[in-house]
Amino acid sequence: MNKYCYWWLLPLLVCLLAACGDDEYHYPPVKLEFLTACSGADGSLQSVLTDEGKTFPVVEDLSSLKIAADTSVRIVANYADAVAVDGTAGVKLYASMKVVSPVPQTADKFENGIKTNPADILSIWLGLDYLNITLQVKEDGQHLLHFIEDKVMVDAATGQSDVYVTLYHESDQSMTSYTRRAYASMPLRQYAVEGVRKVTVHFSLRTYSGDIKTYDIEYIPSL
């Protein structure tokens, strides 16, 4: 495997807007969500797709996040509703960061072996063809996250697929300090093969208590 996905821990993407003395002015509500962001020819973010399936143009991007030209990536962002000059409904990004979102790989694809350092899950839920995960980790410094595809079982008669995935987590455990959050988003669309009507994802990780914890999430592929 030539490339892993590195994650620089996010302290917490929160932009708190304070009033500036004008009681008549109300700041728009700011949301913190996972989004799929699409770039233009210059690599700047041009639009976002929410996990509810709605696409909005980026009216303003205060984060100035740049990605490869004409591509899409998963991000976690603070944003608010905004209106473009032509009156089109869009979004204003206050802060954004790319999210670890690699397609799961089988164990043999990890050239240096698999690593399963502990982590705890704060929340896990389905997005639009993604499994979104908010993790809590104790070590400071650089963390390396990926997804290990342990097994895929498909029952052609029922259209049921069971996907077993383990969190790959490599970190410098000698630098234990305080807890931080990390965000990951696992693509699921590759499991929506012909004939599969429901996918149950069995997502496992090793926790700080020493246990292996498994979360069973049902995914119904969109047409």
Q: pLDDT digits over 44-89, tens only?
A: 999 999 999 999 999 999 999 999 999 999 999 999 999 988 999 9
pLDDT of residue 136: 93
Q: How far lies 196's CA from each of 11, 104, 113, 144, 220, in Å? A: 39, 18, 31, 32, 9
Q: What are phi and psi of 84, to 5 degrees?
A: -70, 170
The yes-or-no verdict on residue 3 having pLDDT over 80 is no
pLDDT of residue 180: 86
Q: pLDDT digits over 122-167, tens only?
A: 999 999 999 999 999 986 678 899 999 999 999 999 999 999 999 9
Q: pLDDT digits over 162-219, tens only?
A: 999 999 999 876 656 688 899 999 999 999 999 999 999 999 999 999 999 999 999 9
Question: What confidence category does residue 20 fall into, taking pLDDT thresholds of 50, 70 and 90?
Answer: very low
